[in-house]
């Protein structure tokens, strides 16, 4: 690997900084353990300095497919099948770089994406990246929507329908806002009208800490509530403007906001939770659904790069 990046970025201090941690400037080396990358072992500015768009999603296969798709969409040189996993030295996350686009998997749930985001945001900082936009492209359960609808998140809310994320730090609860970039959400909705091949809406997204009980499912190994209680909760969520449920949006929104990163959450609904809990849609239909947020984001990126 080429020359090491110095940790202290004093020439960048007057510019917008992505990290909010004074301790970083005093570290000799920063090891991004779950990416198997580090400031002494890798030339992060050379590897990642041109990144402008970061797309994240739960599954490693989806993020590899997205990398191949965006490679073709941006008409880049080389074979899309040759794109290699930058994090192949670890099986925690997968990461693919395609021109100015980084595609990373984050696993399931808040702790998993939160660890990934800490290391990603430090990576962007060490690489001296500027004006980066982040997108979460995921799947979700819809409330009152036909399956396959893409929900662009207005507010990411917790299980109490509050637009906030609570993190326990040194035994105290810290509450952070989960406001996302309104301009990006509007522009993504505009992109969907230009593509006009699947329904897309802007709505609130509820982030839970569990797929089963936490999302009011009746089909988990545990269930302590009735069908009526489940439906009452989901109807109240709908009244609060919630149109889909997933498991990472609040921490994603909160961390991006604090770190001056513009961000959007785009999740396709796999089912209508008012009609059931099991995901029984055929595999090939689910695969097509998962591609919908990718198409939307690819269109957005191409517009940003003035390629269309
Ligand atoms: O499809 P992804 O991006 O993984 O997102 C959703 O799917 C997982 C649950 O099946 C959770 O991570 C949820 O947020
Ligand atoms: O119902 C669903 C579907 C996908 N992801 C979720 O978190 N919930």
pLDDT tens-digit readout, 86-121? 999 999 999 999 999 999 999 999 999 999 999 999
Residues annotated as binding site for substrate?
215, 217
Nearest to 136 by CA among 293, 244, 288: 293
Q: What is the pLDDT of residue 225?
A: 98
Residues touching ligand 2 (Cβ under 6 Å) are: 139-141, 211, 215, 245-247, 270
Instruction: Look at ligand 2, atom 2, and give the residue with the nearest C-alpha.
Output: 141
Q: Spell out the alpha helix ranges (H) of 108-175.
A: 110-126
Taken in order 253, 207, 116, 287, is the CA torsion positive or negative?
negative
Task: For residue 53, give Cα distances in angstroms to 15, 238, 291.
Answer: 19, 31, 18
Residue 249 three-state SS: helix
Mutate to test the pocket of ligand 2, among 144, 245, 273, 290 (most ligand atoms within 8 A of CB): 245
| Angle at CA of residue 25, ends 19 and 29, nearest 5° | 100
CB atoms within 10 A of CB 256: 26
Average pLDDT over residues 193-198: 94
Backbone angles phi, psi at 54, to 5 degrees: -120, 125
- Does residue 156 line the site of ligand 1, with CB under 6 A? no
How many angstroms is it from 280 CA to the middle of ligand 1? Answer: 16
| Interval between CA 43 and ligand 1 midpoint (Å) | 32
**Residue 147 C-alpha from the chain's centroid:** 20
pLDDT in tens, 212-262: 999 999 999 999 999 999 999 999 999 999 999 999 999 999 999 999 999
- State the pLDDT at residue 182: 98
CA-to-CA separations, 225 to 212, 213, 217, 229, 262, in angstroms, rounded: 12, 9, 9, 6, 39
Cα(134)–Cα(120) distance, integer angstroms: 11
State the distance from the centre of ligand 2 to the C-alpha of 180, rounded, in angstroms.
20
Per-residue confidence band for 2, with pLDDT thresholds at 50, 70 and 90: very low
253 Cβ below 6 A of ligand 1? no
Whether 293 lines ligand 1, by a CB cut-off of 6 Å, is no
pLDDT the model gives residue 275:
98
What CA–CA distance (Å, rounded) separates 205 from 263? 14
110 in ligand 1 pocket by Cβ < 6 Å? no
Alpha carbons within 13 angstroms on the beta-carbon side of residue 278 total 4
Residue whose C-alpha is closest to residue 54's, from 245, 207, 275, 261 = 261
With a pLDDT cut of 90, the percent of the chain lying above it is 94
Ligand 1: does its nearest atom lie under 6 Å from the Cβ of 95? no
Task: Give the end-to-end CA distance of the chain in Å, rounded to a whole number.
Answer: 36
Gap between the Cα atoms of 203 and 243, Å rounded: 6
Q: If you take atom 4 of ligand 2, which residue's CA is the nearest one?
A: 140
Q: Determine how many CB atoms are found less than 10 A away from the CB of residue 290.
A: 22
Structural contact between residues 114 and 243, judged by C-beta atoms closer than 8 angstroms? no
CB atoms within 10 A of CB 287: 12
**Ligand 1 in reach of 252 Cβ (< 6 A):** no
Instruction: From 248, 271, 292, give the residue whose CB has the most ligand 1 atoms within 8 Å, as the site to mutate.
Output: 248
**For residue 277, how far is its CA from the centre of ligand 1 (angstroms)?**
15
Q: Which ligand is nearest to the CA of 270?
A: 2
Q: What is the pLDDT of residues 267-304, one digit of tens each?
A: 999 999 999 999 999 999 999 999 999 999 999 999 99
Cα distances (angstroms) measured from residue 165 to each of 17, 142, 171: 22, 21, 16
């Amino acid at each position: 690997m080429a020359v090491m990046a110095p940790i202290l970025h004093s020439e960048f201090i007057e510019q917008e900084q992505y990290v909010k941690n004074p301790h970083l400037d005093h570290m000799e080396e920063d090891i991004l353990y779950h990416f198997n990358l580090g400031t002494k072992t890798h030339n992060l500015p050379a590897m990642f300095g041109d990144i402008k768009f970061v797309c994240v999603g739960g599954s490693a296969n989806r993020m590899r497919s997205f990398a191949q798709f965006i490679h073709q969409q941006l008409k880049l040189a080389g074979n899309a099948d040759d794109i290699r996993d930058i994090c192949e030295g670890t099986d925690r996350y997968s990461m693919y770089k395609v021109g100015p686009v980084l595609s990373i998997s984050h696993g399931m749930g808040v702790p998993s994406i939160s660890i990934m985001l800490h290391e990603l945001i430090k990576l962007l900082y060490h690489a001296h990246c500027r004006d980066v936009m982040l997108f979460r492209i995921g799947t979700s359960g819809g409330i009152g929507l036909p399956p396959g609808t893409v929900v662009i998140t207005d507010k990411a809310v917790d299980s109490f329908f509050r637009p906030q994320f609570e993190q326990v730090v040194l035994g105290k609860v810290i509450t952070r806002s989960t406001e996302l970039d309104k301009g990006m959400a509007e522009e993504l909705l505009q992109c969907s009208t230009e593509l006009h091949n699947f329904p897309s809406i802007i709505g609130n997204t509820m982030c839970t800490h569990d797929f089963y009980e936490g999302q009011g499912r009746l089909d988990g190994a545990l269930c302590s509530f009735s069908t009526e209680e489940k439906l009452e909760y989901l109807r109240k969520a709908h009244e609060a403007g919630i149109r889909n449920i997933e498991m990472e949006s609040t921490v994603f929104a909160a961390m991006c906001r604090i770190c001056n990163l513009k961000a959007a959450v785009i999740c396709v609904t796999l089912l209508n939770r008012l009609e059931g809990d099991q995901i029984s849609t055929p595999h090939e239909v689910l695969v097509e659904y998962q591609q919908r947020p990718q198409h939307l984001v690819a269109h957005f990126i191409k517009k940003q790069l003035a390629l269309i």
